[in-house]
Amino acid sequence: MVMTDNVRASQREFRFDLATYLAERQAQVEAALDRSLPVIYPEKIYEAMRYSLMAGGKRLRPILCLATCELTGGTVEMAMPTACALEMIHTMSLIHDDLPAMDDDDYRRGKLTNHKVFGEDVAILAGDGLLAYAFEHVAIATQNVPADRLLKVVAMLGRAVGAAGLVGGQVVDLDCEGKTDVSLETLNFIHNHKTAALLEASVISGAVLFGASEEDLQRLSRYAQNIGLAFQIIDDILDITATQEELGKTAGKDLQAQKATYPSIWGLEESRRQAERLVDGAKAELTVFGEKAVPLVALAEFITARTH
């Protein structure tokens, strides 16, 4: 894990160690995911679902959800089922994104993609299975949260996944394939939907579970939109600058496919500046929370400092 001087300085100031925090949270999430999905008959589909779900990854979405639940006064326990559901939804979107009909990728999270191991038919069903199970899991496993808040979270997840979120972003992305005149507005639309929508749902759902005020939800929403776009800008930069080993997936795919990306519009240096500006904007939204927001500040800084 690579950290910038900024991250180190802010952590020294607040005696907060992001690497330890991430490692602990990742371990908690991995254990909860493992428990959430046992293999039963028909084993083939559960094995395919678990293959991608348990394949690693940064677990950023669940960690954001747990962090905002704690920030607003809640506990890790009450947010864990939603955190796991976010990872199930994210994983299913990766499985479908890697299919030959979409991005056609052979590697993900350092392993062969789901369809390469289980075949396209089972990979499609594994994605469908994870998507449906995410909603079932939130509804069944969440404890000590009033039903009206849980309903809000369910609606929020549905919106983030569907045509108003991931699916909408993906369809415009597919539409832009092979086009050389994609505008910045269209690129922003794609990534606000494909990437930022689920990150925003991750941040907001944790706060909704504890019943945060409308004002705090608005602040967290602006934080999330900023880190969501910054995350995608860095993703585009890493596609150019990182190796396949670092990324765990094929590097240089955007350039190869002549895809419109932030670096293709702004260049690498300006893209990095824009991502840093967005992260500064995200952090500014957290000042009212004081020291309690240190994990979310560090997570925002991690987004521009990450190498994979």
Binding part of the chain for ligand GRG, among 132-140, 161-169, 204-212, 278-286 by CB under 6 A, reads 161-169
286 in Cβ contact with 293 (< 8 Å): yes
Q: How many chain residues touch ligand GRG (CB under 6 A)?
A: 19
Of 34, 67, 7, the closest CA to residue 292 belongs to 67
93 part of the interface to ligand GRG, by CB under 6 A: yes
Q: Is 57 in the site for ligand GRG (CB under 6 A)?
A: yes
Q: Phi then psi for 3, rounded to 5 degrees?
A: -120, 145
Q: Does 102 bind ligand GRG (CB under 6 A)?
A: yes
- Under the criterion CB under 6 A, does residue 80 sit at the interface with ligand GRG? no
Consecutive H or E run containing 293: none
Instruction: For ligand GRG, give the closer residue by CB, 56 or 267.
Output: 56
Residue with tokens 């940064």: 58
Residue 97 interacting with ligand GRG (CB under 6 A): yes
Q: Which is nearer to ligand GRG, 145 or 305 (CB)?
A: 305
Hey, what amino acid is at 32? A
Is 58 a binding residue for ligand GRG by CB under 6 A? The answer is yes
Identified binder of ligand GRG from the candidate list 145, 166, 190, 275, rule CB under 6 A: 166
> Hey, what long-range contacts does 116-125 have (CB within 8 A, 24 or more apart)?
117/48, 117/51, 118/44, 118/47, 118/48, 118/51, 122/44, 122/45, 122/48, 123/48, 123/95, 123/96, 123/98, 123/99, 124/96, 124/99, 125/45, 125/48
The dihedral through the CA atoms of 91, 93, 99, 105 has a sign that is negative
Does 161 engage in binding with ligand GRG (CB under 6 A)? Answer: yes
Stretch that binds ligand GRG, among 37-45, 88-96, 262-270, 286-294 (CB under 6 A): 88-96
Q: In sequence order, which residues have a C-beta less than 8 Å from that of residue 187 and are 6 or more positions away? A: 260, 261, 262, 265
Strand, helix or coil at 242? coil
Within a 10 A sphere around the Cβ of 54, how many other Cβ atoms? Answer: 14
- Shortest CB 166 distance to ligand GRG, Å: 4
Task: Tell me the C-alpha distance between 129 and 221, whole Å.
Answer: 29
Among residues 25, 50, 96, 219, which is the contact residue for ligand GRG, using CB under 6 A? 96
From candidates 167, 172, 217, 268, binder to ligand GRG by CB under 6 A = 167
Return the residues of window 190-209 that contact ligand GRG according to CB under 6 A: 194-195
Cβ within 8 Å of residue 226, ≥6 positions away = 278, 279, 281, 282, 285, 300
Q: Does residue 33 belong to the site contacting ligand GRG (CB under 6 A)?
A: no
Closest CB 181 distance from ligand GRG, rounded Å: 23
Q: Which residue number, 108 or 219, has a Cβ lying nearer to ligand GRG?
A: 108
Exposure class string for 276-298: b at 16+ Cβ within 10 A, else e = bebbebbbebbeebeeebbbbbb
Q: CB under 6 A: which stretch of 33-41, 54-62, 272-280, 286-294 binds ligand GRG?
A: 54-62
Residue from 72, 142, 170, 202 binding ligand GRG (CB under 6 A): 170
Residue whose CB is less far from ligand GRG, 69 or 161: 161
> Which chain residues interact with ligand GRG by CB under 6 A?
57-58, 60, 90, 93-94, 96-97, 102, 109, 131, 161, 166-167, 170, 194-195, 232, 235
